[in-house]
């Protein structure tokens, strides 16, 4: 058995306001057989010093400093260094429950899982946690069973899209992650393509219907609040996913992935600044033309299929009006 049960990868960029909460939550984990790999991605604030000071206190912490290459590069560096049986990711402005790694790892061992997915909170701070009763684990995936998303008869519902696309509420078997979970570098919105690829390839996925991860929604430096020009990185990431459809067997999970892509494009079109909206629309048409050419339109849910068809075949103004619905 590997002496290190879980490698935790923490990309850091100018996170001095939050990084102490993040690292302290990892140092307080009940599961002690862990390593914490912090990748300082060219921070210009006090984050590098804070991380180095933590490393002096805790031998489980390794800090790597690199020039700013964005989060995808930092995660790839961490994956290459990881020695654990399993790998997980924690963003530097988030934090985790004390049992996060223990519960996830126990579940992984119990089912010999390739991937474990847990529930999460959306939080503004430690004292402002959005405690919704609605689980973010899809109801079709809560049965304490092993899942293969290629063959899942009932597709996960749309509300599970965000929780499916991110890497931070998941535990990945190390050999699977090192082979398939490589992130695009130099772009934002880098999660979805590699995570969907790895979910499609995995044969044994289990879920843990516990809220163990605290996703901070108030950090203005996060991708969620990134300036509008960064939204164009979506097209780079979606092109990667389209290529993955040809390279790997997605099975039934392709339908979910396609619907997520369409929904994501329309969401960002609606919220992007008006000065960039038409340019974004033209890039969206190029992606939709590929969807049409590959006969993916039949996999789109009817509501989004109508919007996608209007975007591709009608005027910009009509699509702009329809997208508001």
Same-domain status, 207 and 234: no
Same-domain status, 291 and 147: no
Same-domain status, 213 and 235: no
Q: How many helices (H) and strands (E) does the chain have?
A: 12, 9
Same-domain status, 162 and 282: no
pLDDT of residue 225: 45
Domain's final residue, options 167, 202, 221: 221
CATH of the domain at 200: 3.90.550.10
Same-domain status, 41 and 150: yes
Q: Give the total number of structural domains in the chain.
A: 2
Average predicted confidence (pLDDT) for the chain:
91
What gap in Å lies between CA 38 and CA 34, rounded to an integer? 13
Domain's final residue, options 176, 204, 221: 221
Same-domain status, 66 and 102: yes
Same-domain status, 282 and 213: no
Domain annotation covers residue 51: yes
Same-domain status, 135 and 274: no
Same-domain status, 85 and 177: yes
pLDDT band at 149 (very low <50, low <70, confident <90, very high): very high
What gap in Å lies between CA 148 and CA 128, rounded to an integer? 36
What gap in Å lies between CA 280 and CA 286, rounded to an integer? 10
Look at 32-36, 94-98, 135-139, 154-158 and tell me which has the smallest mean pLDDT: 154-158
pLDDT of residue 162: 78
**DSSP string computed for 269-289:** HHHS-HHHHHHHHHHHHHHHH
What gap in Å lies between CA 141 and CA 179, rounded to an integer? 25
**DSSP string computed for 220-243:** TTSGGG--GGGGGHHHHHHHHHHH
Domain's final residue, options 221, 236, 254: 221
Domain annotation covers residue 262: yes
Is the pTM here over 0.85, yes or no?
yes
Query: Residue range 213-233: average pLDDT?
Result: 71
What gap in Å lies between CA 41 and CA 264, rounded to an integer? 27
Does the pLDDT at position 222 exceed 60? no
Domain annotation covers residue 298: yes
The sign of the dihedral angle between the CA atoms of 174, 98, 96, 37 is negative
Query: Residue range 263-292: average pLDDT?
Result: 93
Domain annotation covers residue 1: no
Does the pLDDT at position 210 exceed 90? yes
pLDDT of residue 132: 63
Does the pLDDT at position 226 exceed 70? no
Same-domain status, 28 and 171: yes
pLDDT of residue 19: 96
Same-domain status, 171 and 73: yes
pLDDT band at 126 (very low <50, low <70, confident <90, very high): low
pLDDT band at 97 (very low <50, low <70, confident <90, very high): very high
pLDDT of residue 24: 97
pLDDT of residue 221: 43
Domain annotation covers residue 30: yes
Same-domain status, 190 and 315: no
pLDDT of residue 87: 98
Domain span at residue 290 reads 227-322
């Amino acid at each position: 058995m590997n002496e290190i049960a879980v490698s935790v990868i923490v990309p850091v960029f100018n996170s001095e306001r939050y990084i102490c909460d993040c690292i302290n939550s990892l140092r307080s984990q009940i599961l002690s057989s862990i390593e914490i790999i912090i990748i300082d991605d060219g921070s210009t604030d006090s984050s590098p010093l804070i991380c180095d000071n933590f490393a002096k206190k805790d031998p489980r912490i390794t800090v790597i400093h690199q020039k700013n290459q964005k989060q995808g590069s930092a995660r790839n560096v961490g994956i290459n260094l990881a020695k654990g049986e399993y790998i997980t990711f924690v963003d530097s402005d988030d934090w985790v429950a004390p049992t996060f790694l223990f519960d996830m790892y126990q579940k992984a061992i119990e089912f010999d899982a390739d991937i474990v997915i847990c529930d999460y909170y959306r939080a503004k701070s430690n004292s402002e946690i959005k405690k919704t009763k609605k689980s973010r684990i899809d109801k079709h995936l809560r049965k304490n069973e092993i899942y293969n998303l290629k063959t899942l008869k009932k597709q996960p519902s749309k509300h599970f899209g965000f929780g499916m696309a991110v890497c931070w509420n998941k535990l990945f078997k190390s050999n699977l992650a090192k082979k398939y979970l490589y992130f695009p570098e130099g772009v934002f919105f880098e999660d979805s393509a590699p995570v969907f690829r790895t979910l499609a390839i995995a044969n044994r996925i289990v879920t843990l219907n516990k809220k163990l991860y605290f996703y901070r929604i108030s950090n203005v430096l996060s991708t969620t609040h990134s300036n509008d020009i960064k939204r164009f990185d979506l097209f780079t990431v979606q092109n990667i996913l389209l290529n993955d459809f040809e390279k790997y067997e997605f099975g039934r999970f392709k339908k979910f992935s396609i619907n997520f892509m369409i929904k994501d494009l329309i969401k960002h079109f609606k919220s992007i600044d008006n000065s960039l909206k038409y340019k974004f629309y033209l890039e969206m048409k190029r992606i939709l033309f590929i969807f049409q050419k590959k006969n993916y339109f039949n996999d789109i849910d009817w509501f989004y299929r109508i919007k996608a068809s209007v975007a591709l075949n009608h005027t910009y103004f009509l699509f702009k009006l329809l997208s508001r619905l």
